[in-house]
Amino acid sequence: MMMAIEVRDLTKRYKGNGFAAVDHISFNVESGEIFALLGPNGAGKTTAIKILTTLLKPTSGTAKVAGFDVGKDKDSVRKSIGIVFQEPSLDWRLTGRENLDFHARIYGIGRKEREKRIEEVLKLVELEDKADVAVDKYSGGMKRRLELARGFIHNPKVLFLDEPTLGLDTHTRRRIWDYIRELNDSEGATIVLTTHHMEEADYLCDRVGIMDQGKIIALDTPTNLKDLIGSDVVSLEMNTTYNVEVFKKLDFVTEFRKHDNFVTLKMERGDLRIPAIMEVAKLAGIEIKSVNLRKPSLEDVFLHFTGRRIRE
């Protein structure tokens, strides 16, 4: 399988304080894959994307995108990629069609091909009926859809999406997920996205690299990552964490973690264990506010490796 991205020992360390925003990371992305860098704000995701899109020079290590070295062949990398930034970068005074036309001209697409591609991408993101409306009249979701269309109008080999659903409501976020999948399915696009939404990475991606403090701490398919946890997860919310160590003594608890006013317990057949947990809590004088039983999520994977939640 041809690699769309090859990263080896990539590091970005800032002068002065020596802070490593990206700390010796290595990974590959296969052609046609949807790949995510998942992690909290400040994990180094955006810095990594800026290096891969030639916007930032690495301190050390190497990276190739579409076969081109990001340090030695920047122009070829830029011709091979599309990017949708966190912050909106549309011209709100222009219509949707004019924004797409301007972007396509920058990439040297001829008139006939340009007109054809504009219609194709407008249809893909369902904006045909709003194509000639000024962008300042678009909703937040419509603007994001137009940015997706613009990022892919020149048929890039790799499309980078930096927090593509940031600030969108749940319904609009899921519609954007559908458009991203459609780009991947119909156009065969390799897509690399950054996100701090676990469900986004789980729903969209073939593989996920979990980042924290500049490092990739785990990398695999969402299913394989969750299988690392294996057991059911029971989360207890309490008014106090005093005396919660008693839960460790339950013979069916395979892992115990405490964070703020929550205790997370792993076990097999969690649905059958909750009465015993409640009885132990009662005997220990622990007031439980809520009980949650679920299968492992990518949030649990992050908690497993770091001891804290991704949104903390």
Q: What pLDDT digit, counting tens, does each position of 40-81 carry?
A: 989 999 999 999 999 999 999 999 999 999 999 999 999 999
Nearest-angstrom CA–CA distance, 158 and 123: 21
- Per-residue pLDDT band at 300 (split at 50, 70, 90): confident
Give the residue-averaged pLDDT of 2-25.
Answer: 92
Kindly report the average pLDDT of the chain as a whole number. 92
pLDDT score recorded for residue 147: 94
Classify domain 231-295 at the CATH topology level: Alpha-Beta Plaits (3.30.70)
Residue 213 has pLDDT above 60, yes or no: yes
pLDDT score recorded for residue 261: 85
Residue 234 has pLDDT above 70, yes or no: yes
Nearest-angstrom CA–CA distance, 239 and 173: 34
CATH number of the domain located at residue range(s) 3-222 in this protein:
3.40.50.300
Nearest-angstrom CA–CA distance, 114 and 103: 10
Spans of all domains in the chain: 3-222, 231-295
pLDDT score recorded for residue 62: 96
* Strand pairing report for 20-30 and 3-13: antiparallel
Residue of 139 and 260 predicted with greater confidence: 139
Residue 312 has pLDDT above 60, yes or no: no
Give the residue-averaged pLDDT of 90-102.
Answer: 96
Q: Which of 12-16, 54-58, 165-169, 229-233 shows the lowest per-residue confidence on average (mean pLDDT)?
A: 229-233
- Secondary structure (H, E, C), 76-141: HHHHHEEEECCCCCCCCCCEHHHHHHHHHHHCCCCHHHHHHHHHHHHHHCCCHHHCCCEHHHCCHH
First-last CA distance in the chain: 38
For the chain, what percent of residues have pLDDT higher than 70? 99
- Per-residue pLDDT band at 83 (split at 50, 70, 90): very high
Reported as a single tens digit per residue, the pLDDT across 165-178 is 988 888 888 989 99
Residue 220 has pLDDT above 90, yes or no: yes
Question: Bridge-partner residues for 192, per DSSP?
Answer: 35, 160
Give the residue-averaged pLDDT of 116-136.
Answer: 94
Q: Which of 241, 240, 176 is nearest to 203 (CA)?
A: 176
pLDDT score recorded for residue 1: 62
CA 265 to chain centre: 26
Residue 122 has pLDDT above 90, yes or no: yes
Residues 292 and 299: beta-carbon distance below 8 Å = no
- Burial environment of residue 67 by CB neighbours within 10 A (0 to 12, 13 to 18, 19 or more): middle
- Per-residue pLDDT band at 257 (split at 50, 70, 90): confident
Give the residue-averaged pLDDT of 280-287.
Answer: 90
4 SS3 class = strand
3-222 and 231-295 have identical folds: no
pLDDT score recorded for residue 15: 83
